[in-house]
Amino acid sequence: MNRKIISLALILTFIVFSGCSQNNRTLEQKLQSALLDNLESNNVKGASLAIIFPNQKLITVTAGFSHDTVKMKPDMFFATGSITKNFVATLTFKLAEQGLLSLNDPISKWLPKYPYVDSTITIKQLLHHESGLYMFWENQKLWDDLIKYRDSVFSPDVVLSYIKEPYFKPGKGFRYSNTNYLLLALIIKKATGSNLSSEFRKLLWEPLNLKEVYLSQEEELPTNLAHVWGDNFEKDGSFRDITFLPRVSHESITYGSSGIFITAKDLAFWCYSLFNGKVLEKSSMKQMLDFNKDDYGLGVHLFNKSITDGEIVYGHGGANIGTCAYMAYLPEYKVSIVLMINAFIGDCLDNMLEDIIEIVVENINTK
């Protein structure tokens, strides 16, 4: 046989077997490869992924490292950042279902007057980010003080002292602002006579048997934290383990808008339970998913299709010091996906989410 023909045959054989090998990889192997590829290309240490399918089958996949030679593990806790807003919104709906408050209540019914806060703003406008309220951390003085007093607790009243003139009148626009959810947390405390974490546990977590969820501003965090990496707002270009550096001031300012620590697995279960109607009444869910022209509902946002492989996906994203996360639900497939990385690098998370969704949808469609 001609040498050229033999060589061509060998090449074709390699391609065929290589293709078979790729196709025979398990779903978990494909997912882990996607995580590893994105970690490497973005210089991120580690990732944790959890997926729940319609039959309630759970898949957890981790990649990379927490710190040193300690590999990322499924039971490690991450800060969820603004995903906390989804819990606050859900709790607000639960209280409305119980008749303790109404989404149409003006905040004057529950809170004292604050400078630059229009007392006619409604609870629904807070949930929808349609209040026009100034985002307190856009005030550079707040950031300067957070760094200067890293070990100090900034009370809600102190945080509200940093807000300035509103962006627009209530109901006349959309502007994402953590100030909205700080006020919601204060309203919840006033309406219940309790604190945020206690109401979370009583009305949301315990009914779902979610025992390992913590609110940083009110509860002691578990020791099994995924280590986080970044510069701790030093703006010096460093990238180091900042897990145990002082962060009290930063955590305290985000009361109501951030603070929940949870594993990827438990957050995926929360996502699955919420969007499959196991937490709120149908009428409440319909309101929650009432997305405005900016693709934000009431504590839920509609993901841009550029990072969802073209699929309809809603949920929430979040970030904190040295970490970012996505909680995503695919209504067409009834699949919940939670993705967490231990660096504040949004592009990495976006690319990961797109790759993960592509793999999951392909897996479902080929069955």
What confidence tens digit (pLDDT) does each residue in 345-361 have? Answer: 999 999 999 999 999 99
Give the HSE-up count for residue 290: Cα atoms under 13 Å, Cβ half-sphere.
13
Q: Which of 216, 347, 297 is nearest to 326 (CA)?
A: 347
- pLDDT tens digits, residue range 59-71? 999 999 999 999 9
The answer to whether residues 19 and 309 touch, using CB atoms and an 8 Å cutoff, is: no
What are the C-alpha distances in Å from 203 to residues 78, 98, 210, 279, 285? 22, 11, 11, 9, 16
Q: What is the pLDDT of residues 123-142, one digit of tens each?
A: 999 999 999 999 999 999 99
Q: Please report the sign of the dihedral spanned by the C-alpha atoms of residue 87, residue 88, residue 94, residue 97.
A: negative
Scan for tokens 């074709």, then name that residue: 12
CA distance linking residue 82 with residue 256, whole number of Å: 9
Lowest-pLDDT choice from 6-20, 76-90, 181-195: 6-20
Q: What is the pLDDT of residue 22?
A: 52
How do residues 202-239 score in pLDDT, each as one tens digit?
A: 999 999 999 999 999 999 999 999 999 998 777 777 88
How far, rounded to the nearest angstrom, does the alpha carbon of residue 200 sit from its chain's CA centroid?
A: 16
The 3-state DSSP class for residue 110 equals coil
Mean pLDDT computed over every residue of the chain: 93
Which pTM value belongs to this model? 0.93
pLDDT at 23: 62
Average pLDDT (15-20) is: 43
Cα 208-48-55 angle, rounded to 5 deg: 45
Which domains, and CATH codes, for the chain?
A: 27-365 (3.40.710.10)
Residue 134: partners with Cβ closer than 8 Å, 6 or more residues away:
116, 163, 164, 165, 166, 167, 177, 179
Q: What's the CA gap between 133 and 225, in Å, rounded?
A: 34
Percent of the chain with pLDDT over 70: 94
Q: Say yes or no to pLDDT of 157 above 90.
A: yes
DSSP-assigned letters across all residues of 73-105: -TT-BEE-GGGHHHHHHHHHHHHHHTTS--TT-
Tokens describing residue 250 = 């930063």
Q: Which value, in Å, is the radius of gyration of the alpha carbons in the chain? A: 22
